[in-house]
Every structure is written in C-alpha cells, then in structure tokens.
Chains A and B, each alone.
Chain A
Amino acid sequence: MKVLIVEDEKTLAYEVEAFLKKAFYLVDLAHNARQALEKIEMNQYDFVLLDLGLPDKDGLIVLEHAKKHNSEAAFIILTARGNIEDRIKGLDLGADDYLPKPFSLLELQSRMQAISRRKFGVKNQALQLGEFEIDLQKRTVSHNSIEIEITRKEFDLLSYMLLHKNRVLTRIQLSEHIWGSFVDDDYDSNYIDVHIKNIRKKLGAYGNVEWLETVRGVGYKIRKQD
C-alpha cells in the first residue's frame, strides 16, 4: 500500500514514515501543500495522511484538490488544531478519518487497517490466534466454530493487540485505544488489567491462551504464532 505523508514538521513526518515502513507500507513525504499537490497529481496513493496546518496553504484546500486527482485514495486528517469545524469540514470534503494530534502511531495503523477493510475490501477477517478464530468483519471470536461471548471493549482490545502482535503494548496505548484520548487524569491506566483478566477467563474456558502474555511493568503482547 502506498502512503503520502503531508506534514510540515519534518521530525514528525520521519517518525511516521519509519513506523509505516516497518509495517510494510510504501511511503512518500511532502512538507508543504505545493509538494503534496505535485505528488498527488503524479502518483496514485492508497492513503494520504494530511496535516491541516501547512505553511503555504490550508490543508483543507489540499484535500479538496487532491480528491479530484486521487479520488480512490483514503484521506486521514492529522491535526493539532482539533477544532470541531475543521473536523466537520474535513469529513464533509470527503476525508475518511480524523486523528487529532498527538496521536499514537499504533492507533494510526489501526485506523488505516479499518479503512482498508471498509474501503478497499481487504479480506483478512478470519485470523487464526492459537486455537481461536477472530473475525474482524463480524467482530466475533470463536473456538471450533463455537462463538465465544465477549464484550465490545474486550473485542476491541483483542483485535488491537492482534493487529500489533509481537509488539508490547503499554497500558496507556491500550486504554487510549479503548477510551480515546478521553480527558481524564488517571494516567495509570491499570483498568486495562480488568479487561485482560476477563479476556483470559472467557477464552481460557475454551482453550489455551498462553499467546496473551503479560510483560511485567510494561503491558501486554500477543506472541507471534508459529
């Protein structure tokens, strides 16, 4: 998948680039609106990650133009402005998602995956996880075709960890995914533990859940399946 990152803050652009490259995306960079429009006219992208606060032009104008040339692409607005009008305008202009800065790279990837499923019909829904099968489309977990009842939040957690499998996810990262960047001064997000405990209990009744590892003092990870 080909991604264009439109971001004037170069350090930030490089971080996003590094992360996405690791996740096997092809990445192009643009640091202002002019560059962005040039590249969009020349190439076909699957994703355009667009910062609204560009030095030469408003990102929303870029979005409007880019939509004409690259209507197939999925646009994700990344902005520190974060006011409601921008969000509404962006979505009105055809942006597929909106992530306020500062965002988590893991969250970005999760959103991109969701768009891939929704927009590009990427069918990787039935994922194998040990003895369990996880259907991202239907949002179900099953064991030998028997559906296991888990809550919406538990499923969100499980699929998020699965997406970033073999990577340690901190409690902050997990709770931010579940509760959003909800304004709440409990930065010790120990509440995640309750959910993990429940997942282990519910799935453990059917089979082995050793793939869900606790990394002491850090968080949790789903171990790569061999």
Chain B
Amino acid sequence: MVGNSQRSRIQNQKAGLKLLTKLTLFITLSKLAIVMLFVFLLPNLIERIASKYTDDYLREQKKKVMTIISKNGINYYLQGEESMGSYTMLKEEYISLAPSETAFYPDTIETSERIVESDTLNYRLLTYNFKADNKRYLLEIGKTTATISQYNRPLQKIALWVLIALTLFTLVADLIYTRFLLAPLGKIIKSKLVNRRFPFNDDPHPVITSTSDFRYLDSSLMTLMTQIHEAFEKEREFTANASHELMTPISILQNKIENLLGETEVSDLIQRKLIEMHRTLNRLKKIVNSLLLISRIDNEQFSRSEVVSLKVLLEDVMDDISHRLEEKEIGFRLSLKENITLKNCNRDLLYQLFYNLINNAIKYNKPNGDITIQDSYHAGSFYQIFIEDTGIGIPAEDIPTIFNRFKKSNLSEAGGYGLGLSIVKSIANYHRINVDVSSAVSRGTTFTLVFPKEIIY
C-alpha cells in the first residue's frame, strides 16, 4: 500500500537511533569508562609516584649527609660517639649512622620495618655503606610509608568528583560541537532528498559546510539528482514529441474513416468494418492523448492559479458521469461535511482526477454496488476525501503498481487500469495531493485523497 510503505519508512526512522544520539552515547560511555579506570588505578599510581618521590627525597638526603661528611668529617655527626641516630618528633623520618663490619656494602632503598622507641613502623629505607677515616659506616635514612598512602582515599574521592564534573562539562561541549558538526548532514538530507519534489526542476544550492565529507556527499547527491533529472527530462521530451508526431497520422486516419462513413454507397459490411477501425483508432488516440496529458502535467504546462470549490466540482463530475450509475444500478452517496475551497489549482485537472477515480469506482463495481464519497477535515493541517466502492477490489500484490503506466491487473476483465490512474497520480503530484489506496479483493477499494493545508483556501 502506498500509505503503508510511507508509514513503515517513518517507523524505520523511529526504530533506529540518530547518529547524534549514538555519538553522544559512545562519547559518554567511553569517558565514564576512562574516569572509572583512572579512579580505580589512582592508589596504585599515587603509590608509585609517592615512592618515587620518597626515593628521590631519600637520595637527596643521603647526598646532603655525604657532602657534609666529606666536608666536615664524620665526627660532625658522631660527635665522638660510636654511632648516631635521630628522628623527627612523630617518627616519620629518621636517620642513623653506625660503624659497619659486614662484608657486603649495600646501597639500596627498600621498604622494611624498624622499631623506633618500641613503635614498629614501616619505613621506606635507604641503606648506604661508606668509608670514612678508614672505617666502614652504615647510613640509614628512613621515611614512613604511612604518610604516603594516607592520602589515597580522599584523593580518590576528590579525583572522582573532579573528573565526573569535567566529564559532564566536556560532554556538553561535545554535544554542542557534534550537533554543530552534524548539522549539514540534516540540511543535505532535507534540501536534497526530503524536500525536493520529483522531477527536481528547481536548482539545488550546495549546502555550506567546511566538512569535506559532507561536501562530497552533497555534491554526489546533486550529481545524482541532475542525472535523474536529465534522464527524466529525456523521457518526457520523447513522450511529448512522440505523442505529437503520432497525432498527425491519427488525424489523417480518423478523417479518412469519417469521410468514408459519410459515403452513401458504402455497404453495411464495410460500414461495420469501418466502425471497428474507428473504434481501434479511437483507442489509440486516447492512449496517445493520455500520454501527452501526463507528459504535459509533468512538464508543468498547466497553470495552478484557480480557486475551486470541491463540492461544486464533485457535483459537476457526478452530473457528467451519473448516467453510468444508472446502467449498472449503482447506489451513490456524496456526503461532504465540509465545504472546502482549494486554491492554487487547476480546475480541469482536478476534474479529470475525480472523474477518473469515480469512473473507476463505477467500472470496477458490481451491479447494485455502492459508491460513497466522504470527507474529514483536520483543521489547520489537512483535508481528506475518501472515495469508497464495493467493487471487485485490487489484489494486495497489485496495489504498489496500479499507478504505473500500462499496468494490467490479472483479475480485471475490463482491460486493466490503463492510464487512468497514472493520470490521477500525475495530477495529484502536481497539486501535492497524496493518494492512498486500501483494498480488499471482492469487497471494494477506497481511494483517499489528502489535500495539504497549503492548497486549502
């Protein structure tokens, strides 16, 4: 169904996520993941940084001590004593200097326990063996590790909040920028695809963007549209020229047949044959006329400047067509609630549109069937007319193609849909009227015409 396919297209749009949403979602999640990872690894990192800092600090202290010893002698520290030890008030740091007799000469930094005044404490410990005044000494400089790791918790907390705040801030920035970045895409789709009406007669303007990908997309679409337009233009020109060229020979044939029919000495048999020829020729004429009409509509050769009352128009059509109802004894009900007047339209074309639809409703109806024409008005948005028949209906598989030229239905004995519905479609497109079909085989068909508010007076 025409309407259904449009609806499902819209649904597809709704079911999928927009590019912007996807990007935002991805950015948010990846940022959060990084923040969580960072916060989780923070203690470890701090540990490393702190221990590196402590080690550097210890080495620095050692250097100072060694400088003083080499300058002032070991006695500067020992003051005549055998060994020396000193620590800060809370025992975070301590230094000891003692003679050493061990065979190995360590110069290491490690973490180990020391008992200072009956307190067992964990120290980061620098041990250094050196020679002074021909004696070996062991220097130990320590710094508690507790001082290092005690800040982990609050740091982690602060980092978490700061980072989340930063993430949110950058997220907003990202969103704004992404929206700005993706704006041309929407513009391209709108200006090149959605809002352009076949056969793309209007000149497209390139969408201004500094993103080369979008420019590429835009120009590719424009090229494609131009190609479609040219192909269509060629077909249209061909149709117009071919129809025109066909009209002259048809004219000659028709006039010859007419002149022959006027001859008094023509026998009955020949007369009947002539009538058959005339009928066939007439069929050819109507096909060519229809093609010409479609090509002229597509060529925008009709003005759209008239104001038409739909009620009056429909009554005129019925006046012209009602004798066909009698023959098939078809019931007809025209019940319009609204008195809608259309503007910017072509009366003759609209007449043809309704004529063809109602004519079909009669032609494909069953004897004693019914035709109902109703309407509904959604004030401020659109107006609908429903042309409903109780006819033979259209098989579902035929519905997508009934508006195609020369499409034949397997079921219809009346010779297919011919060009009548193609003309309807062309006229509807020309007036931006949407045509929907719903049908059930052997129960009937409903054509729905949707008039946009732009053409409602």
Residues of chain A whose beta carbon lies under 8 Å from any beta carbon of chain B? 9, 11-12, 15-16, 18-19, 22, 80-85, 101-106, 167-168, 170, 172-173, 176, 179, 181-188, 190-191, 194-195, 217-219
Interface hit among B41-49, B65-73, B166-174, B413-421: B413-421
* Given A83-B296, A185-B415, A194-B326, A22 contacting B286 (CB threshold 8 A): no
Q: Name the A residues within 8 Å of B293 (CB-CB).
A: 183
Interface residue tally for chain B (C-beta within 8 Å): 46
A104 close to B258 (CB less than 8 A): yes
**Contact pattern, B 234-278, Cβ under 8 Å of A = 1, otherwise 0:** 000000000010011011101110110110000000011001001
Q: Name the A residues within 8 Å of B250 (CB-CB).
A: 101-102
Query: Given A15, A84, A182, A194, which contacts B256 in the complex, CB threshold below 8 Å?
Result: A15
CA distance A18 to B279 in the complex (A): 22
**Contact pattern, B 326-353, Cβ under 8 Å of A = 1, otherwise 0:** 1100000000000000000000000010
Determine the residue in chain A with the shortest Cβ distance to B255: A15
Determine the residue in chain A with the shortest Cβ distance to B415: A185
Q: Name the A residues within 8 Å of B303 (CB-CB).
A: 84
* Given A104-B258, A183-B423, A185-B415, A81 contacting B244 (CB threshold 8 A): yes
The 4 A-B residue pairs with the shortest CB-CB distance in the complex, in nearest-first order: A102-B251, A80-B247, A15-B255, A185-B418
CB distance from B80 to the nearest CB of A (A): 126
A16 close to B278 (CB less than 8 A): no
CB distance from B294 to the nearest CB of A (A): 9
B323 close to A194 (CB less than 8 A): yes
Interface residues in B392-425 (C-beta closer than 8 Å to A): 415, 418-420, 423
B258 close to A106 (CB less than 8 A): yes
CA distance A195 to B323 in the complex (A): 8
A105 close to B251 (CB less than 8 A): no
Q: Does B64 contact A (CB under 8 A)?
A: no
CB distance from B69 to the nearest CB of A (A): 113
Interface residues in B57-108 (C-beta closer than 8 Å to A): none
CB distance from B379 to the nearest CB of A (A): 34
* Given A170-B278, A194-B323, A15 contacting B252 (CB threshold 8 A): yes
Q: Name the B residues within 8 Å of A182 (CB-CB).
A: 352, 355
Q: Does B120 contact A (CB under 8 A)?
A: no
Query: Given B261, B324, B359, which contacts A170 in the complex, CB threshold below 8 Å?
Result: B261
CA distance A82 to B275 in the complex (A): 26
* Given A82-B292, A103-B251, A191 contacting B324 (CB threshold 8 A): yes
**Contact pattern, B 271-302, Cβ under 8 Å of A = 1, otherwise 0:** 11001001100110111011011001000011
Q: Name the A residues within 8 Å of B302 (CB-CB).
A: 84
A186 close to B359 (CB less than 8 A): yes
* Given A105-B255, A170-B261, A184 contacting B420 (CB threshold 8 A): yes
* Given A82-B292, A84-B302, A185-B415, A105 contacting B259 (CB threshold 8 A): yes
* Given A105-B255, A183-B289, A184-B359, A172 contacting B247 (CB threshold 8 A): no
Interface residues in B199-258 (C-beta closer than 8 Å to A): 244, 247-248, 250-252, 254-256, 258
CA distance A101 to B251 in the complex (A): 6
Q: Name the B residues within 8 Å of A85 (CB-CB).
A: 301
CB distance from B431 to the nearest CB of A (A): 16
15 contacts between A and B (CB under 8 A): A15-B256, A19-B262, A80-B248, A101-B247, A102-B285, A167-B262, A173-B258, A181-B285, A183-B289, A183-B356, A184-B286, A185-B420, A187-B279, A191-B327, A194-B327
Determine the residue in chain B with the shortest Cβ distance to A106: B258
Q: Name the B residues within 8 Å of A81 (CB-CB).
A: 244
